[in-house]
Structure 1
């Protein structure tokens, strides 16, 4: 089967693919989207039911393919994770992190660990800690909604601070991106506090009506701060400085409606990750529906792109081969080739390089399509997160409203970036849900006489404070009735959490390759991952985050409960290798994934060290463009979705220019 007569063929229907489809379809261009996952449901009721029934409320738990089946659990597979070799579109999930060395449970193949590594070795390899979706609408199905611009200095990290690399053009790239940032902000429908963000932007040399672009504003006022936010936004905390920079609590711009509009107004549901039950939060199906309504855009679901064809003479892309299926574990039902004049890859920062690397049967490109630079799959990055948590001195009533409504943006840039990573601090409204799997962990502690939460025993924290919540109770107390309810309410209502989004430097050895031995059910190779957190730059960021957390908790009068992880294990039994914890400067750390998968087909100003140019166009094939966070040369400090959307609007403009 050959599909042809299209102006543009797109792989992936997430935020980048949907925006480009909408922009071109609105201009009369015929567009085909190939989406590997299932079609978008008429409503999200089934997803909500799956989420409610899931034992683990992970980012992926509502969505197909099914991520957990307790009825299929065994001693070796207690979560009942499906075998990726038996799924047509497997993808990486949070639950697979602990099973990262088990190919029957984890979609990724991992490179072997070097032998006899010390606990603080920079050569240690880890599980990748962020997940993604393969479904109509892509990973916006489980994003939080945070909509932040990057700063001009983020685009010139090498020039200004001597670290990493610059984006092509440096800060001038920011200038060029400003109108597209504004377009993305309006399109997504961002709720934000202009005055508060103006103050932050001005501190980093960004003017809203001068130096870096035209006057901008948010389409809607910001979401109201939570009581958790207000407990941090007090003079003892805001009087603190970090490397001579004041700690400033700022409302977070968010892609969710604060007022009724085309989407419903935020109703304060607490499960924004993974799913907003009323679609007050933007997801890419909003744009996808607009694209389809142009009458010029078609989408084919359950079509897995398997190979990119090149013309042997011109080296232009001549088609994209795909495989079709009906059910997740069913047989292949067909195949075909999608043919267009131009092509846009937007299948995420793991699946896009996998497709490029699979397409290695073309003359002149033995390393894969668009890979003459050998940069495809390299420089895999994430915001590696440090979590800290504690109990406020007074009730702050978490577990209500969007999962995060404020943060610390003032620490995202400064002279310190010459020696350590920058970070933004996200204030969590979900208590210890992420940090300690509450409310379940603390409930089990006081029902069964355990102390996993440290609130029901004799543990002393690093500040020599006893962590037992009620000193009148015996250690490992077993409670019931009114006393149990009163104790749990006293703990749950005071839980606070900080998350540090620590920037990671590009490292060419952190990469996506093709597995030599593992395939999915369609016979396509699975991604092979090499991932390290090895530079002192990043590890110094963890040391700073640890110190700052303690200072913040002390300033607000909270008691810190952040746990120290066990000693890392990097040799011996592969099934017992450390997944996400390491040692540095005598401290043990655990890192978490922010869900921000970045950098595997970066743009640049030279063909020799990048995959695409400043127009997001392949250096090797002029009718091939790419989108998504894989384009980013550095991860910077802001959540990436607004930048992904801005780049998609920018790329759409260039594609239309090339048609004309």
Structure 2
């Protein structure tokens, strides 16, 4: 240890949900913890971020959070990150933080994340689904992808701990589309969110419908959102802007857990500190320290550097920045980077590529969207069926935001009827309206808009990866992430089935479908002669996956590095497969599991 350097029990990189949970559990154990956070501090009041959102010319998921998403230059940003606006400039590394390979056969990776105090959970939707037993056994059950080194049953107590920490609202009896998910006596922390009028319309209209041998049933979605006062957070007031920010913190975010960790008096956080190298003791193979760089101005370059020393280390920097750090730490002795004897660090990048569809309910049948959270129910019965041996499964999120996601309504349709255009597809005759006629037409249309988002599973594939773009650096002179990404035929077949299911559902509801495909999009692809484009779900997974052998995985079942016994990595990067449920609850559950293993080591 260098003279004057404070030694901690544990050094954690990242203060998002996984880092915060580990820090809290260690703090409660009276362990001394240092968190290195690349981004700026959590503001004293969320109104700071609300004001940024209100005054920003763009209204993207990242716009409330620093640095400013407009006119960004990733070569000058100390803690850059992928943003939605980057996707517009996906082929231009001077404007896109992720340097994407768009050569033959490649597609753009389309999900984003934050590097701020509290992490990306500032702008998550709140969906808190458990993975299903089949998600953990894809290779054994269906001959696809990888099995997890953990069975569902072993995850039960960690799921319960995560649901308690996050304050998940749900009624267990509404989740029985799969048997064996819960102990008989299990009770969620609070009652479920009341389904929207849109949900009720779907539920009533789809009764009796079966597809691919499965009932198409609507189920309320477990949500990290208060229906009763919980952990000093308010009850959800139905603001339909969970993304990008809940204005009253009724929705759980990682600052809740982070503040509890800091309040133990055993956890210290150091903001604007970008981990730049993981240092390995060549004699023992243990991690010796983590070097970091500091900055003051987010676009002003480095102002200093330091070294963090602990007995154990936890990387919790999300599934792109964690492998980036490990790869940047390469030496002559470890030319592939730290923790990478398997050559799997950065590989197996996954998401839930999203198929989006939208339709209009019949005249005289309004569903009144935009009342309540952005989504409160889904169709989960196609998440784990025998068909997974042939095509990727998917869950269906029932949207409660009309056509905001598909076409940026209410703005697009309003502009159509003012200008006589037809971008929405709802003004084929080119009508130009104003005054009461405009109001009546818009009310008659927008109250009938419905949409579905289909989260399609993706297999771990070594060719989908994060590596280093040595010729494109950030504001600290560190190489930015290079992305190689595509969709397998298995996932593309899932898109084809998702389209069939969605169109059949709309017909069952008597709705007219308006879904379109943008052939000019870099996300466009074809399968069996049909054209599709896709969106990122914001579910960045893989890149330091766990497994049963050091030969083909980075971590063991406790998320400990096979190569370095005092190094753990938490977050969705540890996932061996994407599963079919939104990953945040499983991220939290695995963080409790890793924290338990780490505490046992510290007690030895």
Pick the TM interval, shorter chain.
over 0.9
Pick which of 289-298 and 489-498 moved more. 489-498
Q: Superposition pairs for residues 578-657 of structure 1, below 5 Å?
A: 578-657=521-600
Show the counterpart of 1:448. 419
Q: 1:176 aligns with which of 143, 151, 154?
A: 154
Task: State the match for 2:64 in structure 1.
Answer: 62
Q: Secondary structure at 2:240's aligned position in 1?
A: coil
SS, match of residue 551 in structure 2: helix
Task: Say whether residues 1:164 and 2:145 are aligned partners.
Answer: yes
Task: Please state if 1:105 is matched with 2:95.
Answer: yes
Structure 2 residue matching 1:639: 3-state secondary structure:
coil
Work out whether residues 431 and 438 of structure 1, in 8 Å CA contact, stay in contact via their aligned partners in 2.
yes
Q: Deviations over 1:425-450 (max 9, x none)?
A: 00000110111111111111111111
- Does the 8 Å contact 2:156/2:182 carry over to 1? no
Residue 17 (1) aligns with residue 19 (2)? yes
Question: In the alignment, is residue 376 of structure 1 matched against residue 345 of structure 2?
Answer: yes
Tell me how far apart the structure 1 counterparts of residues 524 and 369 of structure 2 sit (CA, whole Å): 27
Q: Distance in 2 between matches of 1:310 and 1:196?
A: 49
- Out of 66, 73, 82, the position equivalent to 1:83 is 73
- Corresponding residue of 1:71: none
Residue in 1 aligned with 2:117?
136
Offset, 1:260: 1.8
* CA displacement at 1:401 relative to structure 2: 1.1
Equivalent position of 1:228 in the other structure: 198
The separation in 2 between residues aligned to 1:579 and 1:288, in whole angstroms, is 38
CA contact (8 A) 1:13 1:137 kept: yes
CA contact under 8 A between 1:98 and 1:579: conserved in structure 2?
Answer: no
State the shift of 1:345 in Å: 0.2
> Counterpart of 1:497?
451
RMSD: 1.2
Q: 1:189 to 1:206 in 2, by over 3 A?
A: closer
The equivalent residue for 1:559 is 512
What SS does structure 1 have at the residue aligned with 2:223? coil
CA distance in 2, matches of 1:523, 1:565: 37
Q: What is the match of residue 391 of structure 1?
A: 360
Q: Which runs of 5+ in 2 are unaligned?
A: none
Q: Is the 8 A contact 1:342 1:624 kept in 2?
A: yes
Give unpaired runs (5+ residues) of structure 1. Answer: 69-80, 115-123, 210-214, 458-474, 569-577
2:233 equivalent in structure 1:
263
Q: Describe the superposition over 1:123-153 as per-residue Cα deviations: whole angstroms up to 9, x where unpaired.
A: x211111100000000001100000111111
Aligned to 1:433: 404
Residues 76, 301 of structure 2: 8 Å contact kept: no
- Deviation per residue, 1:96-125 (Å, 9 max, x gap): 1121111111001122513xxxxxxxxx21
Q: For residue 364 of structure 1, report the CA deviation from its aligned partner.
A: 3.0
Q: Which residue of 234, 240, 243 corresponds with 2:212? A: 243
Superimposed CA distance per residue, residues 259-304 of structure 1 (whole angstroms, 9 cap, x where no aligned partner)? 1232100000010001000000000000000000000000000000
Q: What does the per-residue CA deviation read over 1:333-383, in whole Å, with 9 as the maximum and x for residues that have no partner?
A: 11000000000000000000000000002x532100000000000000000
When normalised by structure 1's length, the TM-score is 0.89
Out of 507, 515, 526, the residue aligned to residue 469 of structure 2 is 515
From 33, 36, 44, the counterpart of 1:34? 36
1:356 lines up with 2:326 in the alignment: yes
**Per-residue displacement from partner, 1:507-552 (whole Å, max 9, x unpaired)?**
100000000200001000000000101x221111111111111111
Q: Secondary structure of 2:490's match?
A: helix
Q: Secondary structure at the match of 2:556?
A: coil
SS at match of 1:97: helix
C-alpha spacing 1:208/1:242, structure 2 compared with 1 (3 Å): farther
Determine the C-alpha separation between the residues in 1 that align with 2:469 and 2:5: 30
Q: How many residues align?
A: 598
- Give 1:55 deviation, angstroms: 3.0
Cα distance in 2 for partners of 1:630, 1:281 equals 24
Match of 1:153 among 113, 134, 150: 134
Supply the distance in 1 between the matched residues of 2:69 and 2:58 (Cα, whole angstroms): 10
Distance in 2 of aligned mates of 1:207 and 1:526? 42
